[in-house]
Amino acid sequence: MDIKYSQGIKAGIIGGVLIAILMIIGMVINVLGSWTSAIISLCTCLNPLIEVVLLMIAGVLAVRFTTGLLKDMNDALVTSAVAGGVAGLIAGVVALVVNLISPFLLGTTYGYEDIGTSLGIAGLSSVSSGVCTCLCAPVWIVLGAVFGAIGGAIYYALAGKK
């Protein structure tokens, strides 16, 4: 594997872990939302914007890690798109897990009498949100690659070839 791509994967893992931490913090805030202040709840509305910025930062890191190895803007775009795609893959998996377990953490289960199963309301909600997230997870990868490439291109253009 070319070192550019391995550095892009490394940058993507860093970005993906940061997005995962943000998602977990958002889930915790939602679980504790009944007694948190409106300011903290407002901060969770900013999560999508912060996630986009983190995807772009993954692209920036990829270009930064491979500055001496890049020949032109196309190399920067491909390397940063790899980083964004890896970050998006990690974010998609974490979003799936968060959406599967958050209904249980919100305490919306009502017992064994619901639909003859032990899943309860939270279980049905969890399964439906998990299925929807599975369908949306590829979007994370595509958007991650796009925003990673945008971030990498901006950084490459501003930093210039060294």
Task: List the structure tokens of 125.
Answer: 């909600």
CA angle (48, 83, 144) in 5-degree steps: 30
Task: Enumerate the domain spans of the chain.
Answer: 3-159
pLDDT in tens, 95-138: 888 877 776 676 654 444 444 444 445 555 555 555 666 677 78
**Residues 23-80: tens digit of each pLDDT:** 888 777 777 765 556 666 666 677 788 889 999 999 999 999 998 888 889 988 999 9
The pTM (predicted TM-score) of the whole model is: 0.79
